[in-house]
Structure formats: structure tokens, C-alpha cells
Amino acid sequence: MKKLLTKGQIALLVIFAVLVIDQIIKIWIKTHMYMHQRFQITDWFEIYFTQNNGMAFGMEVFSKLFLTTFRIAAVGFIGWYLYKIVKRNLKTGFIVCVALIWAGAMGNIIDSVFYGVIFTNPDPPQIATFTAIGEGYSSWFHGKVVDMFYFPIIKSSWPTWFPFVGGDDFTFFSPIFNFADAAISCGIIALLIFYSKYLNDTQTHLNLKRK
């Protein structure tokens, strides 16, 4: 029986789905909520609108321009690698994992490259609006990545006897992230659990370089 979709088409479908869902969520959040506004869904799940200049889960280590340039270079490499593994007809699950990582990285690049020039700043009590290119809150490649998913699963305090942080509030899980971050994380975790042999297979990488 002929397959409905080729592995390349499956990869493109995954990429398209992640990008569309990610951008729909981010644009809705930006145009309906102001910074740090939150909606309590359950005791352990909130929609919390924030933005960051850094990498996944709100981390900030290097300059914004460096991070955006690094993301673009990484997406270029992952895209090349994805093309090679599709061409070599490797396992569909492995291809899907790489496609998830590529799409997630591209989703955050869109924020970094474009959002600064097409959106106004969502300072409370104002929400962001679309604006003419060049009249946004920042310049090209300096846009902020939109985050909104917050899972404070456990809220407690450190024991008073605990060194340095005794008595301080403690939250698990504290990072705020977006759909693109989730796609990257799911792709990486699935790779490590189910397809580590592909990552460690030197011969596979040598074959990819030859073709």
C-alpha cells in the first residue's frame, strides 16, 4: 500500500504546524494582554505574558544581536542536517524530532527578527498593536521573544536551616516558556531517549558528509 506522505512531507507538515500554532498563540497574547498580565487556569498552570531577550525559557546570557545571529546560524545547520537525514531515508521518528527542533528555533527567530519593528510595546495597561514597519518598539533583529506558559507546580519555602536560601520562597517549575520552546524540548528529549544511537553513530555522520 502506497504511503500517504513521504518522510520529507511529514517533516514539512510538522514544521508548518509548529510555526503556525506558535505564531497564532504569540500574536494573540501580544494583542490581547499587557506585560505581566496573567490568567490563572489551575493551581499549577497560568497564562503569564512576558518577553525575554535571551534563549529558551527566558535565560539571558549574551547580547541580543549575538543570540539572534546564533539562532539563525543554528537553524541553517539544523536545516541542512534535516535535509540530509530525509534524503538518507532515516527513521520517521528521528526526522520528526529534528523537524520539531528546527521549527521551534525558527519560531523564536521570527520573534527576534520581526516583532521589534511590527509591534508597539505592551506596557501596562496598554496591549501591543501592529504598527508600520520601523515604528515598533525596537529595530530589526532586536525583537523580544514572547513567553506565556507558566507551570508553578509546587510553591513552597526553603527550610530555615538550609544554607544561603533558608526561608526564601521556592517555586517548581519556575521558567516561563512558549510553544516553540516546548517543540525544541520535546524534540531533544525524544532524540536522547529513543534515537541516541543515531546521534552517537559516527558512521552515520560520515555518510551524511559524503552525500
* Beta sheet of 38-42, edge-to-edge order: 38-42, 45-52, 145-150, 176-177
Our answer to whether residue 168 is catalytic in this structure is: no
Our answer to whether residue 147 is catalytic in this structure is: yes
Joined together, the cell numbers standing for residue 171 give 517555586
Of 22, 43, 111, 181, the catalytic one is 181
Q: How far apart are CA 82 and CA 11, in angstroms?
A: 9
| b/e sequence 183-203, b meaning 16+ C-beta within 10 Å | bbbbbeebbeeebeebeeeee
Q: How far apart are CA 126 and CA 199, in angstroms?
A: 47
Q: Which of 25, 48, 15 is nearest to 171 (CA)?
A: 48
Question: Contact 190/97 with Cβ under 8 angstroms?
Answer: yes
Q: How far apart are CA 55 and CA 78, in angstroms?
A: 17
Which residues have C-beta within 8 Å of that of residue 174, sequence separation ≥ 6? 152
Of 22, 147, 169, 201, the catalytic one is 147
The residues carrying an active-site annotation are 147, 181
